[in-house]
């Protein structure tokens, strides 16, 4: 199964479970959780079901294209279901089957892995799902986001698309993956890994990054003051990205690092609070979907 077929299979599967198939959000981010379709939608009482591919940037994980499975840019497949449904583990296992992984022939284990994002002020309990010892999915019941306790609880599934595809295609390096029948992952992204590793570790202008961080932080605060929470949150995401590049650049002391994380978290909290308030003023519009035909997932 090619990478693109794998994505299509997941789209098809989760669309059948009444998830909205969202498109990637066009701001750099370290994980699919940062996408407003997760971070903001999990807040407040409105039901929400979505699935999407998310390009993620993790500058510190770059290896100049030399490591078989560490990448500074890769694709997560993210599913969020709120409120979480009783048979979500079963659904997840069924989704593996649609990708051609028969859980009866493999060793699939749910290993405790409680998730916490200090930058988003979010945490949850769950597992990493391991397929024959390999982590392929992060499975989390969100308990808090942006410092707000969540009710109802959202369940988040994050598939490591490349890892699963490597497994299915039985290749030892991510660059050998067939993205499509004709084109490999390496054809598409190897040079990007080389270039961005060089950029993140060596070329990035530290002074510029610090300025960017501060400007985005200021912009975020300013926009929050004008009740423009969605644009404000864009800038919050950007601060997180500049922070990640600074981190890869080795430009921060550990103390400084903690300080930056605290600043991003502060913005995320303020955005979360502003978002809930705004939705409340709008009368929590998606509450009308409660009990709609999409509700019981079977």
Partner 1 sequence: MTSKRPSQLRVSGKRHNHSPTTSFLLEIGSEELPWQMIQPAMTQLAQLTERLLEDQRLSHGRVRSFGTPRRLSVVVEDLALKQTSVFQEVLGPPKTVAFDPRGRPTKASEGFAKAQGVAVNKLVTRTTPKGIYVCAVKREAGLSAARVLTQHLPGIIQRLTFPKTMRWNASGVRYPRPIRWLIALMGTKVLSIDVAGVRSGSRSWGHRFTSRERPGETATKGLEIQRPEEYEAVLERAGVVVDPSRRRTLLRQRLKRLTRSSEESVYQANQEELLEQAVFSLECPNVLLGNFDARYLALPPEVLITSMQEHQGFFSVVDQNRNLLPRFLAPTNVKVKNMELIRAGNERVLAARLADAQYFFHEDRKGKLAERVPQLHGVVFHKKLGSLYQKTERTVVLVGALAQAAGVLEVKEACQRAAFLCKADLVTGMVGEFPALQGVMGKKYAAHDGESVEVCEAIGEYYQPRTPDDDVPKTIVGRLLSIADRLDTLSAFFYAGIVPSGSEDPFGLRRSAFGLIRIVVEAGMTLHLGEILQQAEGLLNRQGVNVASRPAGERAGNDASRSPVLGFLLDRLRFYGRTVCGYREDVVESIIHGPHGADGDLRDLFLRMDALQAVTNRQEFDPLLIGFKRAHRIVEKEAWASSGVNAERLTHPTERALHQAVETIRRAVEQSLASGDYHGALKRLIDLKRPIDQFFEGVLVNAPEPEKRANRLSLLRQVDELFSSFGDLSRIQVQGQ
In the complex, the residues that contact partner 1 under the rule CB under 8 A are 63, 67-70, 83-84, 86-87, 89-91, 93, 103-112, 114, 124-125, 127, 131-134, 141, 143, 151-153, 167, 172, 252-256, 258, 298
Location of structure tokens 């992204």: 189
Sequence-ordered alpha helix ranges (H) in 40-132: 88-98
| Residue 192 CA: distances (Å) to CA of 7, 46, 62, 72, 195 | 21, 39, 10, 9, 5
Considering the complex, what minimum distance in angstroms separates the CB of residue 284 from partner 1? 16
Q: How far is the CB of 69 from partner 1 (least distance, A)?
A: 5
Compute the least distance from the CB of residue 199 to partner 1, in Å.
Answer: 19
CB of 150 to partner 1, least distance (A): 9
Rounded least distance, CB 9 to partner 1, Å: 20
Nearer to partner 1, 132 or 280 (CB): 132
Q: Which is nearer to partner 1, 33 or 143 (CB)?
A: 143
Task: Tell me the C-alpha distance between 67 and 200, whole Å.
Answer: 16
Instruction: Report the residue number, 103 or 291, with the smaller CB distance to partner 1.
Output: 103
For partner 1, the closer CB: 142 or 196: 142
Of the two residues 27 and 85, which places its CB atom closer to partner 1 in the complex? 85
Q: Is 179 within 8 Å of 50 (Cβ atoms)?
A: no
Report, in Å, the least distance between residue 116 CB and partner 1.
Answer: 11
Q: What is the CA radius of gyration of the chain?
A: 19
**C-alpha distance from residue 262 to each of 55, 150, 180, 214, 247 (Å):** 24, 21, 42, 13, 14
Q: By C-beta, is 52 or 201 nearer to partner 1?
A: 201
Beta bridge partners of 81: 49, 155
The answer to whether 154 and 80 have CB atoms below 8 angstroms apart is yes
- Give the phi and the psi of residue 135 in degrees, each rounded to 5: -70, 120
Helices 88-98 + 3-16 axis angle, to 10: 140
Could you tell me the smallest distance in angstroms from the CB atom of residue 233 to partner 1? 26
Residue entry with tokens 């300025």: 211
Of 207 and 298, the one with the shorter C-beta distance to partner 1 is 298
């Amino acid at each position: 199964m090619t990478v693109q077929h794998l994505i299509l299979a997941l789209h098809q599967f989760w669309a059948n479970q009444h998830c909205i198939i969202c498109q990637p959000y066009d701001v750099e981010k370290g994980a699919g959780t940062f996408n407003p379709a997760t971070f903001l939608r999990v807040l407040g009482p409105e039901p929400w079901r979505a699935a999407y591919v998310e390009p993620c940037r993790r500058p510190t994980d770059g290896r100049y294209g030399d490591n078989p499975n560490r990448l500074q840019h890769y694709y997560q497949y993210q599913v969020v279901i709120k409120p979480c449904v009783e048979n979500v583990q079963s659904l997840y296992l069924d989704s593996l089957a649609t990708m051609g992984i028969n859980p009866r022939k493999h060793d699939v284990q749910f290993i405790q892995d409680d998730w916490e994002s200090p930058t988003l002020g979010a945490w949850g309990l769950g597992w990493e799902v391991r397929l024959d010892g390999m982590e392929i999915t992060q499975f989390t019941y969100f308990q808090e986001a942006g410092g707000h306790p969540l009710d109802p609880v959202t369940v988040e599934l994050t598939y490591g698309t490349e890892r699963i595809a490597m497994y299915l295609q039985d290749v030892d390096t991510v660059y050998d993956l067939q993205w499509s029948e004709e084109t490999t992952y390496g054809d598409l992204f190897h040079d990007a890994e080389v270039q961005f590793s060089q950029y993140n570790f060596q070329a990035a202008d530290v002074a510029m990054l610090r300025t960017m961080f501060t400007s985005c932080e200021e912009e975020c605060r300013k926009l929050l003051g004008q009740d423009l929470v969605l644009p404000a949150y864009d800038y919050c995401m950007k601060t997180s990205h500049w922070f990640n590049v600074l981190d890869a650049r080795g430009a921060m002391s550990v103390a400084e690092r903690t300080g930056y994380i605290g600043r991003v978290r502060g913005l995320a909290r303020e955005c979360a609070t502003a978002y809930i308030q705004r939705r409340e003023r709008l009368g929590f519009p998606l509450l009308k979907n409660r009990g709609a035909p999409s509700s019981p997932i079977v």
